[in-house]
């Protein structure tokens, strides 16, 4: 029996469901790009997720956990291992905290907060994806990031250990957390809000969505949000990557069907049949342009998942 078949057998025995085979990753990424994953599994609850991870760890079979696929660029070759999609969903209020399962969408978290009269999370308006993905990359906008609100999070480490840690242990930074250095899977988290006025929250959300719609590509565009992180100047201030790209001459550039958005230079979009190779070539060209003009090297915010990557 080959390695993949042996793993499928072990997975079925341990998890109770067989993983799907040859699943196109393009359908799981907002970019609409990516070849087939050898194996794919959607975990609907914590135990299912923990069992899937533990069998992959025990069998030393490559695996990777995804949320909504809004910040990922998959490989044209797909993935040589098991992709686990986190579908753990649910929210419970406890005092001023919302205790959320990590596969819950940010939009559901925000609408629950508003309905409960809890404020602070309005900055999440219009950011797609799950709580787990947001904590991984410390997603944010307009001066706030999710890490500012995390009180604790329960992490599943690939070896099976589950640990609840406080915000300090997650080492949040600009689009950064400890999980980028030490792979672990967020299972749930508590977001600490402030009791406040529902109408004020709604007004703030409208204002934020208005700002987004005015300067971002239209809803439904195949992309992964801002492709590059904002850059750090010599004084430590952040300079918008979109501005640097615009001034360096990025507007109108494309490779194959991968193109710089007409609306915002930091959004790379798939105009139809872009391949990951096209996006990567365009991104490399853009980094060189900015470096030549400003002496700054842009860093990717979007995560490129190579076919042979793994969380172990």
Catalytic residues: 175, 226, 301
d(CA 98, CA 195): 12
Per rule CB under 6 A, is residue 119 in the interface with ligand FAD?
no
Per rule CB under 6 A, is residue 274 in the interface with ligand FAD?
no
| Gyration radius from the chain CA atoms | 20
Decide: 265 and 242 in contact? Cβ < 8 Å. Answer: yes
Closest to ligand FAD by CB, 81 vs 128, is 128
Per rule CB under 6 A, is residue 134 in the interface with ligand FAD?
yes
Closest to ligand FAD by CB, 220 vs 236, is 220
Residue 264 beta carbon to ligand FAD: minimum distance, rounded to whole angstroms: 10
Residues in the interface with ligand FAD (CB under 6 A) total 30
Q: Are strands 72-74 and 303-305 parallel, antiparallel or unpaired?
A: parallel
Per rule CB under 6 A, is residue 165 in the interface with ligand FAD?
no
Give residue 142's Cα distance to chain centre.
18
Residue 171 beta carbon to ligand FAD: minimum distance, rounded to whole angstroms: 14
Per rule CB under 6 A, is residue 67 in the interface with ligand FAD?
yes
d(CA 101, CA 169): 19
Tell me the sheet residues that pair with 305: 74
Residue with tokens 């508590």: 190
**Taking Cα atoms as reference points, which of 139, 60, 18, 134 lies closest to residue 312?**
60
Per rule CB under 6 A, is residue 70 in the interface with ligand FAD?
yes
Question: Which of residues 66, 91, 205, 286 is near ligand FAD by CB under 6 A?
Answer: 66
Residues 6+ apart with CB under 8 A from 239: 230, 231, 232, 233, 296
Question: Which of residues 56, 82, 84, 186 is near ligand FAD by CB under 6 A?
Answer: 186
Question: Which of residues 40, 63, 136, 172 is near ligand FAD by CB under 6 A?
Answer: 136
Decide: 189 and 262 in contact? Cβ < 8 Å. Answer: no
Question: Which of residues 23, 65, 244, 280 is near ligand FAD by CB under 6 A?
Answer: 65
Angle subtended by helix axes 241-248 and 276-294, to nearest 10: 80
Q: Which stretch binds ligand FAD (CB under 6 A): 17-25, 62-70, 231-239, 272-280?
A: 62-70
Decide: 7 and 63 in contact? Cβ < 8 Å. Answer: no
Residue 134 beta carbon to ligand FAD: minimum distance, rounded to whole angstroms: 4
- Write the DSSP string, 82-127: EEEEE----EEEETTEEEEETTSBHHHHHHHHHHTTEESGGGGTT-
Determine how many CB atoms are found less than 10 A away from the CB of residue 306: 14
Coil, helix or strand at residue 168:
helix
Question: Which of residues 50, 165, 263, 303 is near ligand FAD by CB under 6 A?
Answer: 303
Binding mask 241-260 for ligand FAD (x = CB under 6 A): --------------------
Per rule CB under 6 A, is residue 104 in the interface with ligand FAD?
no
Closest to ligand FAD by CB, 44 vs 303, is 303
Decide: 166 and 199 in contact? Cβ < 8 Å. Answer: no
Question: Which of residues 36, 78, 137, 242 is near ligand FAD by CB under 6 A?
Answer: 137
Contact positions vs ligand FAD (CB under 6 A)? 30, 65-72, 86, 102, 127-130, 132-134, 136-137, 139-141, 179, 185-186, 223-225, 303
């Amino acid at each position: 029996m080959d390695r993949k078949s042996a793993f499928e057998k072990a997975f079925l025995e341990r998890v109770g469901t067989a993983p799907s085979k040859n699943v196109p990753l393009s359908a799981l990424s907002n970019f609409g790009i990516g070849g087939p994953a050898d194996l794919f599994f959607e975990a609907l609850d914590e135990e299912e997720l923990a069992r899937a991870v533990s069998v992959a760890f025990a069998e030393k079979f490559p695996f990777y956990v995804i949320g909504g696929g809004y910040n990922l660029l998959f490989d044209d070759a797909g993935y040589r291992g098991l992709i686990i999609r986190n579908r753990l969903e649910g929210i419970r209020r406890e005092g001023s905290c919302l205790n959320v399962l990590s596969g819950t969408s940010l939009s559901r978290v925000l609408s629950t907060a508003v309905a409960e009269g809890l404020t602070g999370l309005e900055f999440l308006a219009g950011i797609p994806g799950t709580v787990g993905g947001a904590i991984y990359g410390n997603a944010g906008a307009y001066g706030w990031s999710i890490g500012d609100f995390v009180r604790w999070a329960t992490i599943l480490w690939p070896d099976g250990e589950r640990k609840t840690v406080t915000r300090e242990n997650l080492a949040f930074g600009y689009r950064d957390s400890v999980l980028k250095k030490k792979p672990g899977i967020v299972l749930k988290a508590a977001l600490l809000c402030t009791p406040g006025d529902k109408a004020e929250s709604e007004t703030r959300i409208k204002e934020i969505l208005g700002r987004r719609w005015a300067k971002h590509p239209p809803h439904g565009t195949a992309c992964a949000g801002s492709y590059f992180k904002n850059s750090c100047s010599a004084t430590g201030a952040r300079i918008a990557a979109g501005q640097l790209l615009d001034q360096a001459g990025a507007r109108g550039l494309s490779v194959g069907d991968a193109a710089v958005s007409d609306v915002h230079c930091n959004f790379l979009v798939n105009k139809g049949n872009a391949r990951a190779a096209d996006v990567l070539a365009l991104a490399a060209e853009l980094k060189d342009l900015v470096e030549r003009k400003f002496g700054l090297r842009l860093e990717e915010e979007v995560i490129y998942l190579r076919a042979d990557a793994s969380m172990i």
